[in-house]
A and B are shown apart, each in its own frame.
Chain A
Amino acid sequence: MAKITYITHNDEKHTIEVQNGLTVMEGAVQNDIPGIDADCGGGMACATCHVYVKDDWFNKIPKKEDGEDDMLDMAFEPKTNSRLSCQIIVSDELDGLEVNIPSKQA
């Protein structure tokens, strides 16, 4: 279990306990966090679950695998700390993670 804070583009904070094994995207979708669309359902095929990971966390969480950066090319305003939230799997180590949601997904 990890407490994850989703920060929307207008600075609303939603802190939610997400079960281990779920993805950061699923934690958002199951709790109706606005701004994470996840059109493809977690298949790394759409880039609509794009988030910015706070810098201190970015280097701590498991690295991007093949293909994620290719999808991020298509995301709305990607930055160096961009990730697809469907590719971040929740574990105890992620307790306290904060992610920022872009102003839109497409």
Chain B
Amino acid sequence: MIKTDALIIGAGPTGLFTAHQLNLIGLSCEVVDNLDKIGGQCIELYPDKPIYDIPAVPECTGEQLTNNLINQLKPFDIKFHLNQRVEEVKRDNENWIVKTNSGTIFLTPNVIIAGGVGSFEPRKFSPKECEKFENKSLFYSVKDKKIFEGKTVAIFGGGDSALDWAVELSKKSKVNLIHRRDEFRGAEATVSKMHALVKEGKINLFTKYQMTSVKGNGQLESIDIKNDENEIKNIKTDYALGFFGLIMQLGPIANWGLNLNKKTIEVDTEKFETNQNGIYAVGDICNYPGKLKLILSGFHEGALAARACFKLARPNEKYRFEFTTTSTNLLKRLGKKE
């Protein structure tokens, strides 16, 4: 069990700056995120898109913003728990016990939810019956490519993941690549490589087709694909792979007894505390009158939530407001003074 002054759920920009604020005022924190990397939506949805409304930063991409925030955390020792989703938050006297799906357990008086619009999950095929085959012969990511050797694989999607796997698996499997239009959004070099393999007969390409149904008894046997003119083709296949990017799902957060409003959590604007004492919500996931879904609002919300955490983490001390320009305490924590 890991004891910490505050646990942050979500390693997006708001979660990162909240971690900075906690450490600056002398509190420890740990950060959990379901993605395999730090940065949240900034890194997953728009790493290359320029952002123009971060105060004092005229222009930066999602990736640059993330890197700058990570750099800002350098003076501090913050543990990140990536690839983990928080499943359970339970009261234990003055503390919360927080469990992740990997079995990590935290004991903390403060939980700060900086979860954006929830955790990222793969987008799935539309036909409902696909669920029956999921993780057996139908996948949304490749964990062990050996299982496809000598088999027929249907790959759906038009981005880099679909193209990379079509190219890679075509070496040892029969690959059918299916995409809803002629244009591919993957890297140009990979698109050319794929087209070359189509010419060589190593990949069968079906464009303007989408999946309509899957057939099989326990194991996938064939899939039906349909084009814009409603022509249906049946393709024999052993496996199906879908690469439609990620979608955000609120997930287990909905079960923690918090006041929810659509996909957001109601908070006050003094501490950004939810209806549960010691659980806060900051950034895109919180809601209050006048809420703006801007990164800069998340920074403000995190700074205030961090101060609120002080009270529960250090019940016998008084929080004193200080500036980084003048406070010896803060400068020591930032490693700028002995």
Contacts and interface: CB of A to CB of B under 8 A. Distances in A.
A and B found bound together: yes
B180 interface: yes
Contacts of B52: none
A73 B45 contact: no
8 contacts: A40-B41, A45-B41, A45-B49, A73-B179, A73-B180, A73-B244, A106-B124, A106-B247
A74 B123 contact: yes
Interface of A: 37, 39-41, 43, 45-46, 48, 69-70, 73-74, 76-80, 106
Given A40-B41, A43-B46, A69-B183, A48 B228 contact: no
A40 B293 CA distance: 9
Q: Interface residue tally of chain B, by bracket? A: 20 to 34
Nearest to B246: A74
Contact of B248 (A39, A74, A78, A79): A39
A73 B210 contact: no
A73 B46 contact: no
A73 B123 CA distance: 11
B126 interface: yes
B247 A80 contact: no
B224 to A, nearest CB: 14
Contact of B185 (A45, A70, A79): A70
Contacts of B179: 73
A39 B117 contact: yes
A95 B95 CA distance: 56
B117 A73 contact: no
A96 B326 CA distance: 61
Contacts of B185: 69-70, 73
A69 B244 CA distance: 13
A79 B245 contact: no
A73 B247 contact: no
Contacts of B293: 41
Nearest to A40: B45
Given A41-B293, A43-B45, A69-B181, A77 B248 contact: no
A74 B244 contact: yes
A75 to B, nearest CB: 9
